[in-house]
Amino acid sequence: MRLELSVTDALAETPWWLSAIKAVVIFGFLVVSTLVMIWAERRVVARMQQRVGPNRVGPFGLLQGLADGIKLALKEDIIPTAADKAIFILAPIISATTCFLAFAVIPFGPVVSVFGQETALQLTDFSVSVLYVLAVTSVGVYGLVLAGWSSGSTYPLLGGLRSSAQVISYEIAMGLSFVAVFLYSGSMSTSEIVSSQDRLWFAIILLPSFLIYVVSMVGETNRAPFDLPEAEGELVGGFHTEYSSLKFALFFLAEYINMFTVAALATTLFLGGWQAPWPLGGAIWAGANDGWWPVLWFVAKLWIFMFMFIWLRGTLPRMRYDQFMKFGWKVLIPLSLLWIAIVATVRAVSNEASIDRQDILIWGGVALAVLLVVSIVWDYVSGRELEQPDDIDKPFDPFGGGHPVPPLPGQQAVAVAVVASPSNADSEVLDA
Amino acid sequence: MNPIVPILFLGLLAFGFAAFSILAGSLSGPKRYSRVKLDAYECGIEPTPQPIGGGRFPVKYYLTAMLFILFDIEIVFLYPWAVAFDQLAIFGLIEMLLFILTLGVAYAYVWRRGGLEWD
């Protein structure tokens, strides 16, 4: 049974206590999901690395996240002498508060009846909800920058700068990938975007947008292979190096909730949100999109993305910072602008001449996706040759700089004096 | 009900949780003072002295921030255009293509001048 009320009306008539309950449920959902995700990530990555993973705390090690949290709470809360105390304390609060907020406009399902009250399974919705998500996640960047800046230490400062540069760079590609979606849905409200995908998901019609979004959402959340802000070989822990105890836990929580947020946004904008996956909806099972079932579809789609995050972490090595920025600015941004121009032109022309635009877009999208892959491969192959130093052919003196340096691949080390000395000549004889 | 109100609920809840965690963290852990422990962490070596107020960092980051603002403003113009696309029709399309092209010139300039290079 589909209820008659529209999402906007249902939300407008929702009493305050029901909104409060929904807020608590979303909060609880996110915290519990984070605990499960920490466990799932460690178990799955362990499997990918031929290990077992945590399996001692609770059944299958499920309570590992909770145990880690309690352990962190019992650690000493350190505020370094050089830190700017007020901002040092404020930064994790900013991060952990803003990360929850984006979920307010994510639709978990259609209009349902709760305690005899008809309401939509989403906390709230405006005509510009996606803009609101972008705004809130941008405020979250302040948490990172201020944490890095206020620590009064070198590594956090560099980590904070890096993450802010990274997040804002990929936010452009991310923002551009939404334009095609708005073009097709004719709205920026999350519930309307979901309902405009009832026939075909935007991931299929707008494949390049989807791919660009998926890449930039990994960059946005500072996750592997784009986890440069906390590259432990270079920056120790990045912006949260100086944080300990529950302040560190808050940053950790914020990172994981941000992953859920971008995954939920991907689901809502590109994978049809709470709508049942293709063969299920409509003819086969008429009730699949009614009542509480959509929550299941939504959560399942969410976890597909979460698995992808884990998979990426288990598969790919970390990128180099300059390559990463180059990819964002020189590949993703021009490609998204080009794609927007194509989508807009196709739509305008087909609006005027009433041509079936779906075929054009799907094939055009596939062509552009191929172009994207080719550009990455080409960049990878050609970059190899370009990055050779100019003096590669010259003989290389390993002791030239005062201390021994191994030659780069392709460089020819000059015969060092030590080899020719009489004492070594003896050993060469012995070797022979 | 105003659609902002439920966000306030969630925001207050999240803020309360964060503030409570920080308070609880500072109360539940041990407190053992040591000067070395409160130093900046630099893998055990004597920490680099930080100038008061943050000091200086590479100008690259400012450039990235400026470029971000430019493109973000472009996006802000693109959104309403995309939402109202069907009403604006061909006129809107041509105007927006011209706008993207104009910004494309600036983008090509930045690219050519090495503004997008990191080393």
Are A344 and B85 within 8 A, CB to CB?
yes
CA closest to B115 among chain A residues: A329
Q: How confident is the model at residue A266 (pLDDT cuts 50, 70, 90)?
A: very high
User: Best interface-test mutation with B: which of A24, A119, A168 has the largest number of B CBs within 10 A?
Assistant: A168
pLDDT for A429 equals: 47
Q: How confident is the model at residue A305 (pLDDT cuts 50, 70, 90)?
A: very high
Are B71 and A333 within 8 A, CB to CB?
yes
Stretch A187-203: mean pLDDT? 84
Higher pLDDT, A348 or A283: A348
On whether the CB atoms of residues A148 and A156 are closer than 8 A, the answer is: yes
Chain A residues with CB under 8 Å of B64 CB are 165, 168-169, 325
Q: How confident is the model at residue A421 (pLDDT cuts 50, 70, 90)?
A: very low
Per residue in B30-46, pLDDT tens?
A: 888 887 777 777 777 77
Higher pLDDT, B81 or A377: B81
Higher pLDDT, B48 or A294: A294
Chain B: give the shortest CA distance to residue A165, in Å: 7
Are B9 and A241 within 8 A, CB to CB?
no
User: Over 80: is that where the pLDDT of A340 sits?
Assistant: yes
Share of chain A above pLDDT 70, in %: 88
Stretch B64-88: mean pLDDT? 87
Are B30 and A76 within 8 A, CB to CB?
yes
pLDDT for A262 equals: 92
Stretch A168-173: mean pLDDT? 88
pLDDT for A432 equals: 44
Q: What is the 3-state secondary structure (H, E, C) of chain A?
A: CCCCCCHHHHHHCCCHHHHHHHHHHHHHHHHHHHHHHHHHHHHHHHHHCCCCCCCCCCHHHCCHHHHHHHHHHCCCCCCCCCCCHHHHHHHHHHHHHHHHHHHHHCCCEEEEEECCEEEEECCCCCCCHHHHHHHHHHHHHHHHHHHHHHCCCHHHHHHHHHHHHHHHHHHHHHHHHHHHHHHHHCCCCHHHHHHCCCCCCHHHHCHHHHHHHHHHHHHHCCCCCCCHHHCHHHHCCHHHCCCCHHHHHHHHHHHHHHHHHHHHHHHHHHCCCCCCCCCCCCCCCHHHHCCCHHHHHHHHHHHHHHHHHHHHHHHCCCCCHHHHHHHHHHHHHHHHHHHHHHHHHHHHHHHHHCCCHHHHHHHHHHHHHHHHHHHHHHHHHHHHHHCCCHHHCCCECCCCCCCCCCCCCCCCECCCHHHHCHHHHHHHHHHC
Chain B residues with CB under 8 Å of A12 CB are 1, 3
Per residue in A108-117, pLDDT tens?
A: 888 877 777 7
**All domains in chain B, ordered by first residue:** 55-119 (1.20.58.1610)
Among the partner residues A79, A171, A348, nearest to B90 by beta-carbon distance: A348
User: Over 50: is that where the pLDDT of A425 sits?
Assistant: no
What pTM does this model have? 0.81
User: Best interface-test mutation with A: which of B8, B48, B67, B79 has the largest number of A CBs within 10 A?
Assistant: B79
Q: How confident is the model at residue B50 (pLDDT cuts 50, 70, 90)?
A: low
What token pair was written down for B25? 């963290």
CA closest to B61 among chain A residues: A165
Tell me what the pLDDT averaged over chain A comes to.
81
Q: How confident is the model at residue A357 (pLDDT cuts 50, 70, 90)?
A: low
